[in-house]
């Protein structure tokens, strides 16, 4: 019974990581940016859900408004900040995005992020669903279904749209993409915007479970980096599988051994992957 319950909760955790990690993977795949500010986008989405609720907006409105707002912020930041260091060494982007994350977190602290808050679950998603002898909150089922639907929609859009074709070309061979006339700057604006919006969605839907405060995205960011490494840098397929692997290991580890041992196990797995399979589960990741 306990194992089955932990497995279902691990899938929920994996679903949050899935939405969050896809954005990290897209940004790295197209722009070769390791974005430490991605966790701040998660926190911003969670806090935006709280602000919307305090303003009287329903949960469903927050689920639309927050990703749009954070996505537009992502576009603005890419135009104003990331574009200035596009062709500089990766360490510059690491330092810049880390500083940007601290700045966003500081701003959130000044606007209510010092206190831990919980976003209320809408009445339509309250209650319990029974899966045999296992009972699971309806909201967690909704969260998992939403993550899967959005992931499928993103993959289909990447496969069938002109934008997706450009993203895949830039991800697979950026030099060849440039030769084919792909406008990398405009493409990166949109990619960072989409990635920030995905982080905000995961923040809003995660707020009723993980709560909302200025630095709530920090732990999720650590787990997401593990997810991206296990799946392979730049590999969307790998990120999908790795998100649920990390989610299950985290929940089972916390359930049986405690949170610190679960993190230690994940670090060991990541180190083993980096040493023996640096390209991730499907061998599609980059090693530069």
DSSP string for residues in 32-76: ----TTHHHHHHHHHHHHHHHHHTT--HHHHHHHHHHHHHHHHHH
Within-domain flag for 286:
no
Number of structural domains the chain divides into: 1
Whether 173 shows a pLDDT value over 80: the answer reads: no
Residue 49 lies in a domain: yes
105-150 residue pLDDT tens:
999 999 988 899 999 998 888 888 876 677 778 898 899 999 999 9
Q: What is the per-residue DSSP string for 49-60?
A: HHHHHHTT--HH
CATH label of the domain that carries residue 232: 1.10.3470
Domain limits for position 24: 2-276
95: in domain: yes
Residue 281 included in any domain:
no
Confidence at 191, pLDDT banded by 50, 70, 90: very high
* Domain assignment present for 284: no
- Asked if the structure places residue 283 within a domain, the reply is no
Asked if residue 37 belongs to a domain, the reply is: yes
pLDDT confidence of residue 31: 77
Q: Is residue 287 part of a domain?
A: no
> Are 220 and 16 contacting, i.e. CB atoms less than 8 angstroms apart?
yes
């Amino acid at each position: 019974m306990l194992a089955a319950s932990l497995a279902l909760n691990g899938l929920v955790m994996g679903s949050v990581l899935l939405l969050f990690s896809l954005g990290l993977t897209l940004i790295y795949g197209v722009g070769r940016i390791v974005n430490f500010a991605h966790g701040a986008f998660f926190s911003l989405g969670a806090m935006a859900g709280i602000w919307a609720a305090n303003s009287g907006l329903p949960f469903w409105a927050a689920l639309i408004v927050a990703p749009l707002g954070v996505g537009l912020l992502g576009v603005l930041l890419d135009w104003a900040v990331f574009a200035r260091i596009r062709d500089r060494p990766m360490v510059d982007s690491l330092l810049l995005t880390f500083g940007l994350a601290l700045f966003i977190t500081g701003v959130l602290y000044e606007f209510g992020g010092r206190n831990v808050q919980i976003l209320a679950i809408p009445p339509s998603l309250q209650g319990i669903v029974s899966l045999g002898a296992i009972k699971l909150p309806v909201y967690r089922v909704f969260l998992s279904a939403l993550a899967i639907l959005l992931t499928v929609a993103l993959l289909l859009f990447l496969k069938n749209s002109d934008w997706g074709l450009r993203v895949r070309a830039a991800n697979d061979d950026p030099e060849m993409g440039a030769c084919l006339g792909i406008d990398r700057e405009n493409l990166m604006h949109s990619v960072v915007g989409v990635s920030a919006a995905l982080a905000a969605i995961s923040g809003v839907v995660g707020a009723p479970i993980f709560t909302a405060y200025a630095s709530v995205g920090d732990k999720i960011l650590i787990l997401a980096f593990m997810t991206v490494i296990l799946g392979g840098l730049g590999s969307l397929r790998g990120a999908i599988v790795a998100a649920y692997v990390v989610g299950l290991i985290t929940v089972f580890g916390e359930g049986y051994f405690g949170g610190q041992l679960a993190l230690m196990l994940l670090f060991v797995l990541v180190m083993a992957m980096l040493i023996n399979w640096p390209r991730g589960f499907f061998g599609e990741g980059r090693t530069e």
